Structures are given as C-alpha cells and as structure tokens.
Amino acid sequence: MTSMLHTSFMQESTALARELGPVFEREFFNLRFTFVTGAELVAELADDRRFEKHVLPALEVVRPAIGDGLLTAYNHEPNWRKAHELLMPAFSQTAMRGYHPLMLAVGRQLLDAWDECAGVRPVDVTGSMAKVTLEIIGRAGFGYSFDSFERATTHPFVVALEDVLNHGQRLVTRPPMAGGFLGKRAAERNTENIAYLNGVVDEVIAGRTGGDRGSDLLGLMLESDTLDPVNIRNQVLTFLAAGHETTSAAMAFTLYYLAADPVVLQRVQEEVDTLADVDEPLFEQVSKLRYLRRAVDESLRLWPTAPGYSRVAKQDTTLGGKYPMRAGDPYFVLLPALHRDTVWGENAEHFDPDRFLPEQVRSRPPHSFKPFGTGVRACIGRQFALHQIALIIALIVRRYDITIPQDYQLRISEGLTFSPVGLTFQLTAR
C-alpha cells in the first residue's frame, strides 16, 4: 500500500547486492534480513521438498486483520489448503474469461475520466491505476463497487485498509514505541479500523445469504461449505490487500517504461492496432498481445512490485554447498537484486522487452525471474493480474499517446509494495 514510511531499505539493499551478494545480512531497526540475490541459490530455495514459505514479520503484523487468509496463513494451518483448493479454479486462465467483461467496463470508466483530461491537463497515473484495480477486485471478488471514479476522495474502506497495512509496517520498521501514549493510541486506532473493515465485509456477506449468491469469489466461498465465516472474511480482505496495489503499481511501472521509450511504445501501439482492430479487445486477443506481455514482464523484472518473499529450510541444510542454514532460519529473496543478477547480462538496468522472447527465456537458468513468488505458496492472482494489466494498458495506448513531463524523475516508494511516486502523463488523443 502507499507507503507513508519514507524508507528505501529494499532499494538500498538492491544497490548493495552487486558487491555483497549472493547472500548477505542487513539490519533494519529490530529486524535482521538475510538476503539471497543469486539465481542459482534462488533456484535451490524453490525446492518445496527442502524449503517452504516463511510468513515474514512484515506479513505477520497484518494477521490481526487478515488472519489465516491465503497470504498470511502458516503452512500448518488447515484453512490454507482448503481455501487454496477451493479458489484455484476461480483464478485459472479459463476463469479470466468470466472476469473480462467487468475488467472492460472498469477500463471504459478510466477512459471516460481520462478523455476529459486529454490535451487539457496531466493525469495522475499511479492514482488512476489504483482506482482501476480496486474496482476490478471489488467487483470480481465480492460484487462491490467502491465508486472510485465517482468520488472526489478515497473510499473510507480503502483508507482504513491502507492504515492497517501501514500500521503493520510501522510496527516492524520503527523502534518499538514501548507502550507510550502514541503507541497506545495507534494500537487503538488499528483495532477500530479492523472492526470497521470487518463490519463492511460482514454487511456484504449478510446481503448475500439469500438464494442467489452470485458467481464472484465471495459467492463461490459461500456456496461451498468448506470455509468458516471468519476465514471467508479474511480471504475477502486478503484479495484487497494482496491484489490491489501490487497490480496497480505494476500497471503504472509498465506505463512509465512505455512512455519513457518512444520505440517501445510504438511497437506496443502497432501490436494493439493490428490485433485488436476494434476499440475493445476481446478476451482471446488479450493473451495474443505478446510484445505488450513481454513489456509487462520486463517492467516486473526491474520493479517487481512485491519486493520479495521469504523461505525457511525444513531441516538443517547447506545452501549452495556453502551457506549453513538452520531449520527455521528465514532467507529473503530480494527480487529486484535477483532480477539484476549476472544471468541478465551486462546492462541489466536497461529496459528491453525482448529479453522475454521465448528463446531468450530458455537461455537463462530457471527461477531467475520470480515476481510472483514460488512453489505451492506462489501468487494465486497471477493470471488475474496479468490479464487486467495487459487489457487496461492496451485500452490506454490505443486511445492516447502518453508523455511523461520533462522534469519527472522516477522515484519509488516502498512498503509492502514498490510503487512509482508522483507519476503523471500528458495525454494526446490518437
């Protein structure tokens, strides 16, 4: 979520990786990270027989809000497997066909809002993409619109959710406030926020207990008798917490790189113009936008919007035949550093979608690109995110030429996610 923390610990660690990698330790207040940044070691950590997900402190602190939801569940909690099995089909490539029309409808709302600005005033890219992904997950997840495009200020539900996530981040990224007044006040406010979030979700659920439970994710969970009501609420909040800013920031970063390179932008526009010869791409056409998809991957390489994921050894072992690892000790895969490892060649900072041509991908070792995590606990929302990113960007570049103001310098905020700060575009209707 939008970080209020003004930290760049992960970005600094990424810069240090060339010198200190592939394994190094750094402390951040009361946290100690052991970073892994080399492709070979990350491939080893991907072995689910020897290693498993670790719920890192930054995630653990949001358990009061999302508990044993998919993202924050401990491996031993039975609800993880139950929810995973129930929800996997709802996130499959086939299921995307069902979400395509609502994604298009949200895209149309964005274009309507942006049409009023084209040629007149700049648009807030990061903020607009946040509206898009919030509307999409709200509607696909539980048939709810936050009216993001109609309201002048952010919906209170979103404010509360961001507050809760930021509160969690502050707990792990600041010296403990030792029970002082401010600490106590913040904790109380956090409890109030969580109660409010739960209340809203419970209302939505209560509105569903009639005959028609709908075909969205909430409907699916209510229909099946496998998940208890508290867990269902945890899952709804998890989709919002995990699926909203990760996706909107990825859209914003990709748009940034397209606008920054006229040659790349033109190739994407030509592809969209030929494939989607109507103004609104059909479901099948979206996955055929191969060059655009490569540009999205390349953007997720340079700025994977989730900074990393954490793994622990199930038994005492040695990593890479060299680094002794005790069972339970966490190792953090620092994604922007992995994505700049030597396997990416000399000019890893350079944005080049053709790195993701099939033959190029085959020439690199597996597991050198992991923006969605790994193994059984990898991102369940990957297809859902990629489909909407490609669709929304296709709609935008078909309609407008996009330009970044001359004095703009890419600056990145970090919290649970990386996000480009203050990115605006000038739009020209094509």
**Which residues lie near ligand MNH (CB under 6 A)?**
53, 70-71, 84, 137, 238-239, 242-243, 246-247, 250, 304-306, 309, 371-373, 377-381, 384-385
What are the two backbone dihedrals, phi and then psi, of residue 27, each rounded to the nearest 5 degrees?
-105, 145
Q: Is 418 a catalytic residue?
A: no
Q: To the nearest whole angstrom, how small is the minimum distance from the Cβ of residue 406 to ligand MNH? A: 29
List 91, 332, 356, 372, catalytic entry: 372
Per-residue CA distances from 368 to 144, 332, 333 (Å): 38, 15, 11
Strand 418-420 relative to strand 51-53, pairing: unpaired
List 126, 379, 417, 424, catalytic entry: 379
List 2, 14, 37, 246, catalytic entry: 246
Strand 31-36 relative to strand 330-334, pairing: parallel
Helices (H), 303-419: 335-338, 358-362, 382-399
Cβ distance to ligand MNH smaller for residue 49 or 322: 49
Residue type, 345: G
CA distance 41 to 57: 22
Structure tokens, 151: 């309201």
Q: To the nearest whole angstrom, how small is the minimum distance from the Cβ of residue 248 to ligand MNH? A: 9
Cβ distance to ligand MNH smaller for residue 303 or 344: 303
CA distance 39 to 338: 6
Q: Which residue is nearest to ligand MNH (CB)?
A: 381
Per 3-state DSSP, the chain is made up of helix, strand and coil in percentages (nearest 5) of 55, 10, 35
Q: To the nearest whole angstrom, how small is the minimum distance from the Cβ of residue 83 to ligand MNH? A: 8
What are the two backbone dihedrals, phi and then psi, of residue 318, each rounded to the nearest 5 degrees?
-120, 130
Cβ distance to ligand MNH smaller for residue 50 or 84: 84
CA distance 202 to 23: 45
> Which residues are CB-contacts of 207 (< 8 A; sequence separation ≥ 6)?
none
Q: To the nearest whole angstrom, how small is the minimum distance from the Cβ of residue 350 to ligand MNH? A: 21
Q: Is 379 a catalytic residue?
A: yes
Q: To the nearest whole angstrom, how small is the minimum distance from the Cβ of residue 133 to ligand MNH? A: 7
Q: To the nearest whole angstrom, how small is the minimum distance from the Cβ of residue 293 to ligand MNH? A: 13
Q: To the nearest whole angstrom, how small is the minimum distance from the Cβ of residue 55 to ligand MNH? A: 7
Yes or no: say if 1 and 161 are a contact pair by the CB < 8 Å rule. Answer: yes
328 Rama class: left (phi>0) / alpha (psi -120 to 50) / beta? left
230's enclosing H/E stretch is helix 229-243
Structure tokens, 341: 């490892």
Q: Is 374 a catalytic residue?
A: no
Q: What angle do CA 24, 59, 74 make, to 5 degrees?
A: 100
CA distance 396 to 120: 17
Catalytic residues: 246, 372, 379
